[in-house]
Amino acid sequence: MTFEILLKRRDFIIIYKPCGMSVHKDGAEVGLTELIARQLGVAQVWLVHRLDKVTSGLLLLALNAESAAALSRLFAEHRIEKTYLALSGQKPKKKEGLIIGDMRKVRNGAWKLCQGRENPAITRFQSVSCEANLRLFVLQPKTGKTHQLRVAMKSLGSPILGDVLYGKNDSAFDRTYLHAARLQFEFNGETFDVFAAPQEGAWWRKASVLAKMAEKPFLGNAQISV
């Protein structure tokens, strides 16, 4: 498998991770980092953040141990801004705002948003109607909790299309419609702002969704890859 490389520097690369590809081995003989190392012809690359298996989009990987430590620190300190796109068939309780709450693990590997705020997950969101029973969401996580965005969407009453863990009767969809679209950060004195549109999924290609994405009010000066 060959990955699309959207940006390459001496210390890191940003690739497009397809949906359905795990960042961990998951029992596979060869994992994602090893595949990328082979593609680049290097001994090793370093994973500095993660995307769920069902999530497509931008994945940043370090090319040496020093940059891996520095980039991991930027993620830990929330100095790398991430923007996701999601689709839902349900209207949210409110169109935009913040979702804040502690997360507690429940059955079947799922998580639940709670009212407590001891160590809360924080997500900023906005949404727009594409057509009847279809909304586009722009999600910006301010923390990095497991399944944070999927749980946040469920808490709004708008589970992500195709999310069989947090939605209902969604197995008919061709994917979970969550996509890591944009990364913004500063590293070694240089500012980076990269965007990639989702490539897989019939619902991303709906005319009404493409029209709303084309407005791109959330992109600013992103270096756009489509």
Could you list the active site residues? Answer: 52
CA dihedral defined by 201, 202, 207, 208, rounded to 10 degrees? -70
Q: Which residues contact 201 (CB under 8 A, 6 or more apart)?
A: 19, 56, 162, 174, 175, 177
**CB atoms < 10 A from the CB of 76, how many?**
12
Burial of 44 (0-12, 13-18, 19+ CB in 10 A): middle
Closest CA to 181 of 103, 82, 52, 39: 82
Closest CA to 43 of 21, 14, 26, 65: 65
Closest CA to 90 of 123, 126, 121, 129: 129
Do 51 and 84 form a contact (C-beta atoms < 8 A)? no
Do 128 and 135 form a contact (C-beta atoms < 8 A)? yes
